[in-house]
Amino acid sequence: MLYSAEFIVPAVFLFFAIMLVPRVRVWLRLKSLRFRKGGVFFMERGQGAATFRPIFEEAERAMEALGFEHCCTSTVTPLWTSEPPKQIMAFAHKQAMAFAIVLPPTIPNGKVPFEVHFQTLFDDGTVLSTVDGISLSIPAYPDWFKLEDPGVGDYIKQWEAHQNSCESRESNPMPATIENYMELERRFGSETIPNMEARGDLIHADEPFQWRLTSSKAWALSMQMIKGEQNMMAQAQTVAAPQTRFSGNALMAAEIAAYDRHQKAEEFFSSGSQGKIGRFILSAAAFVAAFTWLWSFENALLLLLVIFIHEIGHYLAMGLFGYKNRQVFFVPFLGAATMGAKDDATIMQRVWVLLGGPAPGLLLGVICMLLFFHTHNDFMLMLGAMFLVINYLNLLPITPFDGGKILDALFFDRFPRAQFFFFLGSIFILASCGLLLSEPILLFIAVIFSFGIKAKWRQGSLAKKAMAALPPKAGEAITKKVVFKTLQEDAVGNGPYSQRLRLANTLIKLLGAPKPTQLELVKGALIYVGVLILPLIIVLLFFLQNANIATP
């Protein structure tokens, strides 16, 4: 059995599918990326978003210590449409004939609240730009723009590396005047697209005045972008404390700016249909391969159908209530998930969306069972049983099932400690049922979720602190400040950025969700209990009726 084609083929396919998922995901994102000619808008000193002011004040102090002086402040339109216009501040070093381009960090490290690119123009028309740890994450620049990345994790050492590189060049640097800086920005914005198009990296997109990467270029860049993000994450975690101590307000502003940038990028990529379709097809194929490996191809397809109908119920319910960026994808060995976004979703909307998956599946299960009793078709029996078991299991008040999420929405989201013990109890129930029923999938789910016990406890502790610090009727800006201040004061503030980002996203959604009324809580609970016990009543009545018919 272990060496048969029935076992080996799906196992090999599953292995390669799982290995390729990260790269295919990035490739699809790069394929959906649109390029445009950039632009720059110069502003008066002190203008711009007030949220960035603490960052630029600290950056100006740091650059002046290196011999730079303020040159100009501007808003730059990036070449790729996934990013909104970004505010930057340029400084000039007259003696070294170099510019320091300062902006909020791509990935904050909790020690330096800004990112800096040192740039020098040369008389041969080239530009040397020295960055630190981000070069692999830059998808587009022209041939005359020479990028260097020493990866030192220190802006002072980065400046020293830039000076050494300038000294080794044969061409002569141009004066660091505002005119030369404006010409640099103009050239980069207007010449990058034609340059990349001439290299064969870009082709015209369907949208007017926009370009996209060729499929081959996007595939070649996908691994580079993955490595680039890994490098940035690693460097942010290992960067040494700088000689200059920066203010907590600036560091928090940098965290919020990076969070906002990440959210807007995710919203952009989530809205593209090409990525959703590709993710759905690849995940469905991996799902079928996984359950073919465990059971059989026929049973895997039936399971795919049952779970797909379940998820489509969630998907349609989300559409009914105005959720954005809806998408369905499968998870090998576990099931599937439907994602959507609506920050102001009410409790009742969340309950209906969660019930939108199990309810249609239970109805179809009942129909299949009725057809079986009329036709005695074994296929109807198996399909009906699968619909009923999977969808009723999802209704049970256990995390991570839909029933558990309904209880979270109705009660536990406002009581983090109680939510943790509910999470703990769910794992115990899943593990116990897995052992008693000899069901490996339930055990597998319990083991997977047990790895999150420590993180769930920390999340509950942080949520409790943030709730206590949040003033009544706080807006989005205040909520973000409270959340990131809470993270700063905790040990997680020095942890990996991916962990901070995930926690911040969870806490901001939790604290920003509309508060339910007592009537909504009662209605939601009654509807859930009704849907939970209705199938049991129907089954009981059905068996009683059959028992009466069978009695002479």
Handedness of CA 389, 393, 394, 395 (dihedral sign): positive
Q: What is the pLDDT of residue 496?
A: 81
**Is the Cβ–Cβ distance between 35 and 212 less than 8 Å?**
yes
Nearest to 521 by CA among 350, 316, 293: 350
- Say if residue 2's pLDDT is above 50: no
**163-214 pLDDT per residue, tens:** 999 999 989 999 999 999 998 888 888 888 898 889 899 999 888 888 999 9
Handedness of CA 147, 150, 156, 159 (dihedral sign): negative
Q: What is the pLDDT of residue 180?
A: 92
**44-94 pLDDT per residue, tens:** 877 777 889 999 999 999 999 999 999 999 988 888 887 888 899 999 999
Q: What is the pLDDT of residue 369?
A: 85
Query: Could you tell me the pLDDT band of residue 1, with boundaries at 50, 70 and 90?
Result: very low
**376-397 pLDDT per residue, tens:** 888 998 998 899 999 999 999 9
Measured CA to CA, the distance from residue 91 to residue 117 in angstroms comes to 10
Which CA distances in Å does 148 have to 67, 151, 152?
22, 9, 12
Name the pTM for this structure: 0.84
Measured CA to CA, the distance from residue 97 to residue 120 in angstroms comes to 7
Give the contacts of 72 (CB within 8 A, at least 6 positions apart). Answer: 42, 45, 89, 90, 178, 181, 182
213-227, 265-279, 389-403, 447-461: which range is least confident on average? 265-279
Cα 258–chain centre separation: 13
Share of the chain above pLDDT 70, in %: 94
**Burial class of 402 by CB neighbour count within 10 A (0 to 12, 13 to 18, 19+):** buried
Mean pLDDT, the chain, rounded, equals 87
Q: What is the pLDDT of residue 282?
A: 82
Share of the chain above pLDDT 90, in %: 42
Query: Could you tell me the pLDDT band of residue 13, with boundaries at 50, 70 and 90?
Result: low
118-127, 138-147, 418-427, 523-532: which range is least confident on average? 138-147
**451-496 pLDDT per residue, tens:** 889 989 999 999 999 999 999 888 888 999 999 999 988 877 777 8
- Say if residue 140's pLDDT is above 80: no
Average pLDDT over residues 93-113: 92
Quick one: tokens of 402?
A: 């839909």
Best-predicted range by mean pLDDT among 12-21, 27-36, 477-486? 477-486
Q: What is the pLDDT of residue 118?
A: 97
**Is the Cβ–Cβ distance between 405 and 397 less than 8 Å?**
no
Q: What is the pLDDT of residue 3?
A: 47
